[in-house]
Amino acid sequence: MSIQTLISKLKNQTTGFLTNQNGAIAIIFGIALLPVMISAGIAVDYSRIAYTEGAIANALDAAVLMSGQALSEGKPVNASFRKEFDNFFYANINGRTKMTTTVKIESFSADPATGKVAATVKSELKTAFMGIIGINNVDITSNSEAVFSSKKVELTMMLDVTGSMDSQGKLSALKSAATNAIDILMPTGSTNNKVRIALVPYSASVNIGSLAGTVSNNPGNDCVTERYNNEFNDVSYTTTKVEGKSGSCPNQEVVPLSSTPGPLKTTINSFTASGYTAGHLGVAWSYYTLSPNWGNAWPSSPTPAGYSNSNVQKIALLMTDGEFNTIYTSGWNSSEFAESTCTDMKANGILIYSIAFKAPGSAKTTLSNCASPDTAQTTYFYSAESSSALSTAFTEIANDIKGLRLSK
């Protein structure tokens, strides 16, 4: 019996009791007491129905999302794929309700072409008290559907390794959060080759190692600064090179787009903190690592996709714990430089997430202005006031980038 049928029958039963005028006072009292007792029993059953309905829906959503993630990682849709869904769903039900013997997966589908996973579950719940009025069972149906993005992703993570990150456990928190994001996007054992990630550690400048010999006006210095022309765009280094300086740059070099998680995580784990905050340089190099105009700078790394490629989404994740306060060209401002560069990035279709980590108001303003506008579904600017909040921000961004969502 469905819940709608149950409600209709209860109304009819109640009307019958109220309109029955036969019998003496004792009988009337008994009749009046019976609906009260039935109502109490119905309340208990209704609570069980609501609990079971919620437990099934939550378990089904979790199982569909799990399968959607597996689909996005390139796992083939076969008998093993379906078995993993069933096992995951029933394992969740076993922990939430004793109704497992009455729960049945009515339908399941997973389509790599559309990125959709859908399932329907039905359950027949035996009532404890409603049998008095002829309602022995109630039918519960739950549907869930997840859709994931089939686009490839090119992601740059701009990570702050300035001196202030060496306090309050901030650098350790960053390493953990960034590594976790890579694990989400590039899980161990995945056959997914749709995600490539670059790293741009920055402080008072950016360390580009031997690449300086190709793109810098000062090829003897690994540390680079802004360029004097085409400063806010990604015009090729063959047209305008960056400037260089000696010292005052991170120990860690920029890592171009890579689909191999191990070296990325090793680089993050090697981070040390020192120097001031030339945030605009981190933003600029985030742009360069995503730009097809700079692809030839890294001959060992596949060239970034063109901006017109609709099958690739370019994304920058910008993170700082301090005000952008260091620049090398007289009359310029690091925050304004960064925001102008972000504007040009967004004009080329690059999505920008940003995280201000225990940062002052000025830094929050800069990163908020740099970020893509929030939507009803997606947050692009995060203000993380604790290490746990930083971890949450990286996790939410990584999951959002995967594009997996419940559609119903």
Work out the angle at residue 187's Cα, subtended by the Cα atoms of residues 200 and 88, and round it to the nearest 5 degrees.
Answer: 145
The parts of the chain modelled with pLDDT lower than 50 are 10, 14, 17-18, 29, 33
The identity of residue 163, as a single letter, is G
Each residue's pLDDT tens digit, 54-107: 888 999 999 998 998 888 777 899 999 999 999 999 988 876 666 555 789 999
Q: Can you give the pLDDT at residue 46?
A: 72
Instruction: Report the phi/psi class of residue 224: left, alpha or beta, with left for phi > 0 and alpha for psi in -120 to 50.
Output: beta
Q: Can you give the pLDDT at residue 279?
A: 97
Q: Can you give the pLDDT at residue 18?
A: 46
What domains lie within the chain, and their CATH numbers? 3-147 (no CATH), 152-406 (3.40.50.410)
Q: Can you give the pLDDT at residue 288?
A: 98
Q: Can you give the pLDDT at residue 103?
A: 86
Q: Can you give the pLDDT at residue 132?
A: 62
- Cβ(303)–Cβ(256) under 8 Å? no
Q: Can you give the pLDDT at residue 17?
A: 47
Which residues make Cβ contacts (< 8 Å) with residue 86, sequence separation at least 6?
105
The identity of residue 129, as a single letter, is F
The separation between CA 29 and the C-alpha centre of its own chain, rounded to angstroms, equals: 61
User: How many H-runs (helices) and E-runs (strands) does the chain carry?
Assistant: 10, 13
Assigned token pair, 385? 């006031």
> Between the CA of residue 40 and those of 46, 54, 377, what are the distances in Å?
10, 21, 42
Which residues make Cβ contacts (< 8 Å) with residue 181, sequence separation at least 6?
157, 317, 394, 395, 397, 398
The separation between CA 107 and the C-alpha centre of its own chain, rounded to angstroms, equals: 28
**What dihedral angle (degrees, nearest 10) is formed by the CA atoms of 38, 43, 45, 46?**
130
Which residue is it, tokens 């925001």?
339
> Taking the chain, what is the end-to-end CA distance rounded to the nearest angstrom?
24
The identity of residue 68, as a single letter, is G
Using DSSP's 3-state secondary structure scheme, residue 244 falls into: strand
